[in-house]
Structure formats: structure tokens, C-alpha cells
Amino acid sequence: MSTVIAIFKKEFSSYFISPIAYVFIIVFLVGTNFMYFQPFFLINQADMRNYFGLLPWVFLFFVPAITMRSWAEEKKSKTLELLLTWPLSDAQVVFGKFMATLAFLATAVLLSVTIPITLFIIGNPDPGPIIGGYVGALLMGAAYLAIGLWISSLTENQIVAFILAWVVIFLLMIIGHPMVTMKIPSALVPLFSYLGLFTHFESIERGVIDSRDVIYYLSMTGVFLFLNAQSLGRRKSE
């Protein structure tokens, strides 16, 4: 466990060595705040439903940018060869890296705490859905991150990792969308809408944490982290 923490600390602090992380967080906060507050006084409701509704789309760009370098850079600079000859299991390395990306995402998301604070100052919102929304957003974020990390482990080019992660996440988002489910054979609809990253966010957006959604996001995260560890192992049979 302590070696996982060592990996986690190293990875997490590496985000803050360059100014890019700060730029990133600022762009994220300014962007989401702007999009949220623009129609805020028109809607005139003290809840964060619209904010959480933005997050799947914002994460679509934000998460691949967080994960693109995680493995690709290690492969390119060949540090992977050292990392994987240290006495760490593949699972420990994968988990340490994943936790670091999740902590980074959580930092950015939790810095938007200014929004609920504003709401409490100017209105009287229900705290339940807001807390639920944050928890749900991080669960969804974890699934996105696991996908992004897996894709980063398949290439040594960060740009390729970004674009591929974007595409895969986008596809997983829209397969549950009515746009797609209306066009496919009806037998496939339940499967597609179950697999869609989006479908599971609808209730979270309203602030309702359903155990089925939690299980879905956790299992997506698990599956892609497993694939990530597998792809590290695959170098072995190359």
C-alpha cells in the first residue's frame, strides 16, 4: 500500500510541476461557471442541476487531457522500463496512477464549491441533491479516467491518446442516447442504454444516487483499469 502511495504522490505532484495544471483548472472553473451562471437568473432556481448537466460534456474534453500523458509519456521516454522493473505489481502501478488522476479531477471539481456557496447566500437550495451530484460526478469522472488511462497505455503518442480517449468516451456517451437507440434494433436498446455513460447520469444530475448507477460506474472503472493492467502485461508477449 505504501508503494501505491509513493506512486500516487509522485504522479499527483507531477501535475503541479508545470503551470499547465493551473491553467487547466482555471479554464475548467471559468468555463463551467460561465456556462452555468449565464442562464442562471433566467431560470431563477437555486439548484445545481444545470451545472451537473454540463459535466459529462466538459469531462469529455477535460478527462482525456488529464490522462493522455499518464502512460504515453512513460512509454515515449522509456521510463516505463524502469517503473516496471521496480518491485511493484502491475495492479499497484495502475491503481496509483488512477488515484492520482482522480485526485486531480476531484481538485478541479471541488474548487467549483463557490457555486453552492453562492447558492446558499442568495437562495435556499436543498443540499442533498448538490452533495449527491458531486458524488455522482466523481463516479462518472472515475469511469472516464479509467477509459482515458487504458487508452494512454496503448500508445506512446499523447495526442493520439487524447483523441482516441475522446472518441471512445464520446461513443460510450451517445450509445444510450435516444438519437442512437431510436435507430437500432429494439432488442439491442436495453443493452445500449445500459452501457451508455449518459443514461446513468440522468438521475445523478437530479441529485439522486441510485445504487444501479453506482454499480455501473464502479464496474466500468474496474473493467478499464483491468484492461489497463492487461495492456501493461501484453508487452510481455510482444
Partner 1 sequence: MLEVRGLNKKFGQVHAVNNLNFEIHKGEVFGFLGPNGAGKSTTMRIITCFIPPTSGSVRVDGLDTSAHDLAVRRKIGYLPESTPLYSDMTVREYLAFVGRVRNLRGGKLKSRMDEMFSVCALTKMANRQIGKLSKGYRQRVGLAQAMIHDPDLLILDEPMSGLDPNQIIEIRRLIKKMGVEKTVIYCSHILSEVSATCDRILIIKDGGIVATGTPDELTEGHKSGSRYTLRVKGDGQSVEAGLNSVGGVSGVSIDDARDGWHSVQVRTDTKEDIGESLFRHIVEKGWSLSELRRDQTSLEEVFTQLTRSGQ
List residues near partner 1 by CB under 8 A. Answer: 2-3, 5-7, 9-10, 14, 17-18, 77-82, 84-89, 235-238
Residue 18 or 211: the one with the smaller Cβ distance to partner 1 is 18
Residue 87 or 185: the one with the smaller Cβ distance to partner 1 is 87
Residue 14 or 193: the one with the smaller Cβ distance to partner 1 is 14
Q: At closest approach, how far in Å is the CB of 78 from partner 1?
A: 4
Q: At closest approach, how far in Å is the CB of 236 from partner 1?
A: 5
DSSP secondary structure of the chain: -HHHHHHHHHHHHHHHHSTHHHHHHHHHHHHHHHHHHTTHHHHT----HHHHHHHHHHHHHHHHHHHHHHHHHHHHTTHHHHHTTSS--HHHHHHHHHHHHHHHHHHHHHGGGHHHHHHHHHS---HHHHHHHHHHHHHHHHHHHHHHHHHHTT-S-HHHHHHHHHHHHHHHHHTTSHHHHTTS-GGGHHHHHHH-TTTTHHHHHTT---HHHHHHHHHHHHHHHHHHHHHHHHGGG-
Q: At closest approach, how far in Å is the CB of 87 from partner 1?
A: 4
Q: At closest approach, how far in Å is the CB of 31 from partner 1?
A: 27
Residue 78 or 212: the one with the smaller Cβ distance to partner 1 is 78
